[in-house]
């Protein structure tokens, strides 16, 4: 139940971020819905295919489809209010990667994979929906730029396995790891911390 709630919250956050990008690009309603869908389920779909969990999650549970459609309607109706929130796209995207990192790790643990592969699955779950969104919207994906994005997912993922060694409830370890992802991304942007640029100018 705990992870289902996290999964739903992540779906909402990414669907809204997809809507905001699509509306910035002035796509029609169909385009907005498609971008919301691929942003919300793209990473999870790839993850499920890699671990052989088919049909993939959103095909087995229509709750995700309903949640995405509801998020699209909400974001369209309140788009002006969302725009008043400073960098709302960044906010929803950051929350989304935090939540989805842990969802991917949990799926890896259920498949009895080793921790490093679980972290890779968590990073993929969190990042690749945004990659597909950006490609479809003719943008260079954030994950391929200097920004701390996938790195935040990796840091949060490994921190989960450290927290899990402590004598605390597992749900607290999950929440702590999600906070690590979100804070890492927020602090990196605030203090302009980036990965090294290998190109000389």
List the one residue out of 112, 68, 38 whose CA is nearest residue 46: 38
**Residue-level pLDDT at 193:** 86
Reported as a single tens digit per residue, the pLDDT across 69-128 is 999 999 999 888 876 664 677 888 899 999 999 999 999 999 999 999 999 999 999 999
| pLDDT profile of the chain (201 residues), mean per 10 | 85 91 93 97 96 93 95 91 69 91 95 97 95 93 83 96 94 95 93 77 55
Q: What is the pLDDT of residue 65?
A: 96
Omega cis (within 30) before 55: yes
Please list, in sequence order, all residues whose beta carbon lies within 8 angstroms of the beta carbon of residue 77, skipping any fewer than 6 positions away: none
> What's the confidence (pLDDT) of residue 201?
55
Contacts of 121 by beta carbon, 8 Å cutoff, 6+ apart? 47, 50, 51, 104, 105, 107, 108, 113
* Token pair recorded at residue 27: 């796509």
**Residue 125 contacts residue 149 (beta carbons within 8 Å):** no
Residue 113, classified by CB atoms within 10 Å of its CB into exposed (0-12), middle (13-18) or buried (19+), is middle
User: What pLDDT was estimated at residue 44?
Assistant: 95
What is the per-residue pLDDT for 90? 84
What SS3 class is residue 23?
helix
Joined together, the tokens standing for residue 119 give 């972290």
Whether 155 and 134 have beta carbons less than 8 Å apart is answered as no
pLDDT of amino acid 84: 65
The pLDDT of residue 195? 81
| Angle in degrees, CA 114, 126, 161, rounded to 5 | 35
Helix ranges (H only) for 25-168 are 29-50, 57-60, 63-77, 79-84, 88-110, 115-136, 150-163
Query: How many CB atoms within 10 Å of residue 20?
Result: 24
Percent of the chain with pLDDT over 70: 95
Q: What is the pTM of this model?
A: 0.89
């Amino acid at each position: 139940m705990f992870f289902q709630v996290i999964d739903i919250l992540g779906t909402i956050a990414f669907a809204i971020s997809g809507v905001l990008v699509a509306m910035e690009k002035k796509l029609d309603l169909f385009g907005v819905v498609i971008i919301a869908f691929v942003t919300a389920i793209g990473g999870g779909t790839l993850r499920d295919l890699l671990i052989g969990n088919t049909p993939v999650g959103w095909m087995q549970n229509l709750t995700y489809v309903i949640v995405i459609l509801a998020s699209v309607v909400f974001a369209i109706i309140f788009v002006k209010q969302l725009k008043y929130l400073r960098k709302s796209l960044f906010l929803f995207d950051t929350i989304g990667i935090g939540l989805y990192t842990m969802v991917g790790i949990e799926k890896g643990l259920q498949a009895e994979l080793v921790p490093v592969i679980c972290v890779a699955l968590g990073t993929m779950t969190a990042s690749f929906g945004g990659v597909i969104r950006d490609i479809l919207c003719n943008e260079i994906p954030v994950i391929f730029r200097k920004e701390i994005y996938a790195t935040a997912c990796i840091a949060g993922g490994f921190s989960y396995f450290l927290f899990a060694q402590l004598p605390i409830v597992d749900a607290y370890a999950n929440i702590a790891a999600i906070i690590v992802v979100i804070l890492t991304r927020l602090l990196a942007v605030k203090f302009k911390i980036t990965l090294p640029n290998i190109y000389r100018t």
